[in-house]
Amino acid sequence: MQLLDKIPLLPLAVMAIFLGLAPFKPMPHLVEKIGMLMDGTLSKPIDIFDLFQHSILIIILVLKLVRMMQVRSKA
């Protein structure tokens, strides 16, 4: 958890949004891959890796925000 505490929030948020929305045209990969996941067509290893790659910073951001709320509630 100390690693999450050391990551600055603003750069993490900017990078998570940027990577989550990249490429911007014609459709962000994250939106496309989540749609494929919902349809049940996310089966190729490259697509699964792409979903992981475009969502990892968002997952880290969510974990950091949860950690910040836990620390704040204990104080």
Domain ranges, ordered by start, for the chain: 2-74
Instruction: Render pLDDT for 5-27 as a digit per residue (tens, 0 to 9).
Output: 899 999 999 999 998 888 878 88
Q: Calculate what percentage of the chain has a pLDDT beyond 70.
A: 99
What pLDDT does 2 receive?
Answer: 85
pLDDT at 56 over 90: yes
Contact 21, 15 (CB under 8 A): no
Closest residue by Cα to residue 50 from 19, 4, 5: 19
Strand ranges for the chain from DSSP E: none
Q: Which residues contact 53 (CB under 8 A, 6 or more apart)?
A: 19
Q: Is the pTM of this model over 0.95?
A: no
What pLDDT does 38 receive?
Answer: 93
| Cα separation, 55 vs 3, whole angstroms | 19
Average per-residue pLDDT for the chain: 90
* DSSP, res 40: T
What pLDDT does 75 receive?
Answer: 67
